[in-house]
């Protein structure tokens, strides 16, 4: 039997695409292996959103030279962006594919093997296929990624994603509902709807239902836990807030990337909202859902960012009381408008601000964790902790990580995928701890 090892970098969309790749390869008689040195093919699903993500790929592909010469395939966003060029940089790569033709990977691998010649195939976004329609081998039986849109029509000036994922396209409403119903029938407990900007769902389909209606319809399938990512603040409608607040399936959690707290920088980023508009939106969300956990993405060191701009960012973190934030140093991406802007911020200054921001975010995250102490949480158990086999790790309905000891006289695997009640008794910055309530 031919074996493959799949390595995934980047965002949830890549994680999803990897589950479809696994599904197809499994169907074509391949078998997954966690050991790269045993694999007949190693597939990299890549990300180019920041430079760091790219460096990791170069290093890993290079280290595989030492292996027993498996087929090496590079797909995802670097595959899409670089195509043929990638072969020049990494000559021992056998297959290059992009974001619009994941369905073709089994065929490209076969051809590379039979002909012993490299296969490079990158298509543009006029392809009408959605990877979400392919068979999937999910990472966890209890969770499913469900893409509702692909691509992005926004033009955030720092961002490479629209270049590598193409124009925004919404999947048909009925197809999404049908898939959600099938997932529920298969015993899936949690669905995450996916899109670069889920809030603009349906905008490209004349007369089609919009995101709020889709959310309500997916919630009505009987799914226990429903989440989505990602939301662009400029498109988060009051209808969506109401749909979230009125459905018990929706997680009490929202990821709402702010990127910067300075209106001047937000304008330069082409985000199309101001600091005050973002904070007013947060206030409306909290009014409808008082206990909601809000998380965000923040970029530090965007061109032209001054101390005053950065102070605004710290101020937004304090005011919005985020439960967590992904913080990034600005990374110029070739071909994006921001990469050519004046006033690139020196690395040491950006790092200084970054460290201050991380401290502020940690304070805010811990404060959120502390609000959970003494409460009873509903937790979906994901499995045993990688560091300590005696600890189960799961997520509560705020999407906060929860640690509990494996109950006596049981093993970790019997709890995987189960929803349990937990009495929370301690807070850490990024997780809370407690005990499973036994009746
Ligand atoms: N579509 C999603 C995710 C985009 S990529 C969204 O709009 O929220 C994920 C995050 O990477 C972004 O939210 C942004 O904070 C960060 N990011 C994107 N391009 C970047 C760049 N050039 N430098 C640093 N961070 C970047
Ligand atoms: Fe990038 Fe902006 Fe689109 Fe998100 S919304 S993928 S940050 S262009
Ligand atoms: Fe990276 Fe591509 Fe996602 S660039 S963030 S994997 S869309």
Note the pLDDT tens digit of each residue in 114-173: 999 999 999 999 988 899 999 999 999 999 999 999 999 999 999 999 999 999 999 999
CA distance 197 to 13: 12
Q: Which ligand is located closest to the Cα atom of residue 155? A: 2
Which pLDDT score is estimated for 390?
Answer: 96
Mean pLDDT of the chain, nearest integer: 96
| pLDDT > 70 fraction of the chain, expressed in percent and rounded | 99
Task: Using alpha carbons, select from 126, 201, 116 the residue that is nearest to residue 167.
Answer: 126
Site to probe by mutation for ligand 3, drawn from 57, 164, 166, 328 as the one with most ligand atoms within 8 Å of Cβ, is 164
CA distance 302 to 259: 10
- The DSSP result for 104-171, as a single string, is GHHHHHHHHHHH-S-EEE---TT----GGGS----SSTTEEEEESEES-----TT--HHHHH-S-EEP
- pLDDT higher than threshold 90 for residue 68: no
**In Å, what is the CA distance from 380 to each residue of 137, 200, 237, 412?**
20, 29, 29, 13
Q: How many angstroms is it from 230 CA to the middle of ligand 3?
A: 12
Task: Sort strands 391-395 and 376-384 into parallel, antiparallel or unpaired.
Answer: antiparallel
Asked whether 154 lines ligand 2 (CB < 6 A), one says yes
What are the pLDDT digits (tens) for 420-438? 999 999 999 999 999 999 8
Q: How far is the CA of 153 from the centre of ligand 2 (A)?
A: 8
Question: Which residues lie below 8 Å from residue 401, measured CB to CB, with a gap of 6+?
Answer: 393, 394, 395, 430, 431, 432
Tokens describing residue 209 = 């239902």
> pLDDT tens, 40-58?
999 999 999 999 878 878 8
Which tens digit of pLDDT belongs to each residue from 189-211?
Answer: 999 999 999 999 999 988 889 99
Model confidence over 91-116: pLDDT tens digits? 889 999 999 999 999 999 999 999 99
CA dihedral 5, 9, 15, 18 (to 10 degrees): -30
Q: Is 78 in the pocket of ligand 3 (CB under 6 A)?
A: no
Q: Which residue CA neighbors atom 1 of ligand 3 most closely?
A: 47
In this predicted model, which residue has the larger pLDDT, 373 or 53? 373
CA distance 355 to 366: 17
Q: Dump pLDDT digits (tens) for 321-335.
A: 999 999 999 999 999
Per the CB < 8 A criterion, the answer to whether 192 and 228 are in contact is yes
Q: For residue 196, which atom of ligand 3 is closest to its CA?
A: 7
Q: Tell me the C-alpha to C-alpha distance, in Å, between residue 208 and each of 202, 214, 246, 276, 355.
A: 6, 10, 22, 32, 45
What band does 76 get if pLDDT is binned at 50, 70 and 90? very high
What pLDDT was estimated at residue 66?
67
Alpha helices in 325-378 (DSSP H): 347-372
Segment 362-391 mean pLDDT: 97
Find where tokens 């979400």 sit: 132
Ligand 2 touching residue 157 (CB < 6 A)? no
270-316, pLDDT tens digit by residue? 999 999 999 999 999 999 999 999 999 999 999 999 999 999 999 99
**How many angstroms is it from 328 CA to the middle of ligand 1?**
8
- Ligand nearest the Cα of residue 258 is 1
pLDDT tens, residue by residue, 409-419: 999 999 999 99
* pLDDT value of position 91: 86
Gap from CA of 427 to ligand 2 centroid (Å)? 33
Residue 164 in contact with ligand 3 by CB distance below 6 A: yes
Per-residue pLDDT tens digits for 231-264: 999 999 999 999 999 999 999 999 999 999 999 9
Grade residue 59 by pLDDT with cuts at 50, 70 and 90: confident
Residue 119 near ligand 2, beta carbon < 6 Å = no
Q: What is the mean pLDDT of residues 62-89?
A: 88
pLDDT of residue 188: 98
Give the pLDDT score at 371: 98
Count of alpha carbons within 13 Å of 149, Cβ hemisphere only?
27
User: Of ligand 2's atoms, which has the minimum distance to the CA of residue 152?
Assistant: 3
- Which CA distances in Å does 55 have to 24, 46, 48, 302? 28, 11, 9, 21
CB atoms under 10 Å from CB of 138, counted, come to 18
Report the nearest-CA residue for atom 4 of ligand 2: 196
pLDDT at 168: 97
Q: Which residues line ligand 1 (CB under 6 A)?
A: 49-50, 158-159, 161, 196-197, 230, 232, 257, 259, 297, 299, 328, 330-331, 333
């Amino acid at each position: 039997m031919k074996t493959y090892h799949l390595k995934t970098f980047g965002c949830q969309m890549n994680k999803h695409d990897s589950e479809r790749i696994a599904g197809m390869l499994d169907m074509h008689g391949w078998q997954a292996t966690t050991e790269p040195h045993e694999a007949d093919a190693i597939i990299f699903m890549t990300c180019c959103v920041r430079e760091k993500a790219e460096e990791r790929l170069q290093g890993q592909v290079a280290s595989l030279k030492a292996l027993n010469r498996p087929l090496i395939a590079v797909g995802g966003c670097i595959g899409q962006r670089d195509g043929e060029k990638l072969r020049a940089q990494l000559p021992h790569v056998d297959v290059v594919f992009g974001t619009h033709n994941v369905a073709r990977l089994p065929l490209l691998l076969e051809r590379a093997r039979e002909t012993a010649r490299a296969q490079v195939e990158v298509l543009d976004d006029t392809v009408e296929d959605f990877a979400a329609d392919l068979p999937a081998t999910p990472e966890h039986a209890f969770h499913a990624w469900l893409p509702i849109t692909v691509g992005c029509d926004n033009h955030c000036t720092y961002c490479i994603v629209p270049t590598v994922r193409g124009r925004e396209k919404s999947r048909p409403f009925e197809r999404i509902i049908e898939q959600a119903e099938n997932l529920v029938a298969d015993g899936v407990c949690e669905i995450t709807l996916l899109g670069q900007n889920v809030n603009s769902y349906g905008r490209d389909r004349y007369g089609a239902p919009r995101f709020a209606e889709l959310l309500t319809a997916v919630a009505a399938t009987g799914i226990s836990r429903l989440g989505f990512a990602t939301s662009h603040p400029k498109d988060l409608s009051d209808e969506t807030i109401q749909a979230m607040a009125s459905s018990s399936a929706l997680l009490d959690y929202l990821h709402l990337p702010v990127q910067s707290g300075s209106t001047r920088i937000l304008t330069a980023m082409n985000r199309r909202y101001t600091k005050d508009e973002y904070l007013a939106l947060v206030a409306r969300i909290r009014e409808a859902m008082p206990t909601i956990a809000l998380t965000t993405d923040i970029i530090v060191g965007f061109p032209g960012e001054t101390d005053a701009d950065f102070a605004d960012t710290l101020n937004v973190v304090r005011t919005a009381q985020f439960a967590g934030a992904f913080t990034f140093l600005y990374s110029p991406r070739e071909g994006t408008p921001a990469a050519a802007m004046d006033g690139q911020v020196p690395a040491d200054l950006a790092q200084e601000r970054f460290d201050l921001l991380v401290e502020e975010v940690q304070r805010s995250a811990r404060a959120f964790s502390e609000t959970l102490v003494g409460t009873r949480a509903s937790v979906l158990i994901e499995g045993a902790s990688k560091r300590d086999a005696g600890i189960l790790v799961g997520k509560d309905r705020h999407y906060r990580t929860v640690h509990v000891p494996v109950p006596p006289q049981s093993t970790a695997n019997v709890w995987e995928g189960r929803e349990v009640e937990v009495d929370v008794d301690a807070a850490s910055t990024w997780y809370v701890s407690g005990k499973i309530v036994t009746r």
